[in-house]
Amino acid sequence: MFDALTERLSKAFDSLTGRGILSEKDVDAALREIRVALLEADVALPVVKDFVTKVRERAIGEDVIKAVAPGQQVVKIVHDALVDLLGGPGEPEGLSLEGEPPVAILMAGLQGSGKTTTAAKLARRIQKTEKKKVLLASLDTRRPAAMEQLQQMAAQAEAGFLPIVPGQTAVEIARRAMNAGRLQGYDVVILDTAGRTSIDEELMAEAKAISDVARPRETLLVADALTGQDAVETARRFNERLPLTGLVLTRMDGDGRGGAALSMRHVTGLPVKFVGVSEKVDGLDVFDASRMAGRILG
Ligand code: GDP
């Protein structure tokens, strides 16, 4: 995902490392390179500006310029700023599933973002790592194929699946799923909302109504990391309407430029909780800001 960015950044650092003394001019020249590298990776402009300003403030300090290996210090400052941008150091946040069972997780996102696949991947992860029983329910009343897809993936994930009852509205299905979860002893109910090709008012109102019925502990927005700036704009719009608690970025195994992954947290203020790394039902990793920053810097 970050190959081109990694290469560009390493070139920018070449001019810094290995030098005994650094001037403000040297740092600024490197920062110009870093700025271009981030913009080429499709990172949102305000994010790039903030990032460069922050790194400059830290790097121009007397201590850095007079340090024994000042170039290395600047690289370390860029690394730390990247970790901050991606979500900060420390343990990944994970999911919050406390509360009276069944706890609901609501999945939202554009059609094709990987929402249904991610719902099944999450079910599998929660069952395996947290040893909780998960029920999957599709609320996509407009696309029977989406319901069937989730049913097939639920079987792969070895999770429960709420039977499809034709003619019910999404809100009715959400209510039935929560009841079934309660009666059948499920710990978690994952509700997969209708995919949409664009953000339209009717579907937004529907998602909000579902949210009011199921009162989810987690509302996760699934976004395709390959769509770059579009994914960031989508996240911003969803975040205005739904009480989102986190993001999942899919297709991190693809060869996109990585800008969305770098901008998302900053633009929405929401943590990236998971990343999709394959089409398979176990292709979901916990997002770890430090590890990701390390990967970007190579
Ligand atoms: P939805 O319309 O948002 O529910 O999207 P789907 O779950 O149907 O996913 C659309 C396509 O993307 C499917 O072919 C998935 O197998 C694929 N997909 C989803 N997540 C990932 C991922 O993390 N990596 C890769 N390579 N493919 C993914």
Minimum CA distance residue for ligand 1 atom 20: 114
Strand pairing category for 218-224 and 160-161: unpaired
For residue 230, give the nearest of 198, 183, 187, 275 by alpha carbon: 198
Residue 113 pLDDT greater than 90, yes or no: yes
Q: Give this complex's ipTM.
A: 0.99
For residue 89, the CA-to-ligand 1 centroid distance in Å is 29
Distance from CA of residue 152 to its chain's centroid?
A: 24
pLDDT band at 62 (very low <50, low <70, confident <90, very high): low
Query: CA-CA distances (angstroms) from residue 187 to 105, 164, 184, 269?
Result: 11, 20, 9, 28
For residue 16, report the distance from its CA to the centre of ligand 1, in Å: 41
Residues with a CB atom less than 6 Å from ligand 1: 109, 111-117, 149, 195, 250-251, 253-254, 276-279, 283
pLDDT tens for residues 215-239? 999 999 999 999 888 888 888 889 9
List, for residues 254-274, the tens digit of each pLDDT value: 988 888 889 999 989 999 999
Q: What is the 3-state secondary structure (H, E, C) of 8-56?
A: HHHHHHHCCCCCCCCCHHHHHHHHHHHHHHHHHCCCCHHHHHHHHHHHH
Smallest CA separation from ligand 1 atom 2, residue: 112
Ligand 1 atom nearest to 254, measured from its CA: 26
8 Å CB contact between 127 and 134: yes
Average pLDDT value over all residues in the chain: 91
The percentage of residues in the chain with a pLDDT greater than 70, rounded to a whole number, is 99
Question: Cα of 279 to ligand 1 centre, how many Å?
Answer: 6
3-class secondary-structure state, position 168: coil
**Do strands 160-161 and 188-192 pair parallel, antiparallel, or not at all (unpaired)?**
unpaired
- 290 Cβ partners below 8 Å, 6+ apart? 83, 89
Give residue 11's Cα distance to chain centre.
28
DSSP code at position 163: P
Q: Which two tokens stand for residue 212?
A: 């009011």
Edge to edge, the sheet with strand 160-161 lists 160-161, 134-138, 188-192, 103-109, 218-224, 246-250, 272-276, 284-286
Which helix (H) or strand (E) is 171 found in, with range?
Answer: helix 170-183
Band the pLDDT of 23: cuts 50, 70, 90. Answer: confident
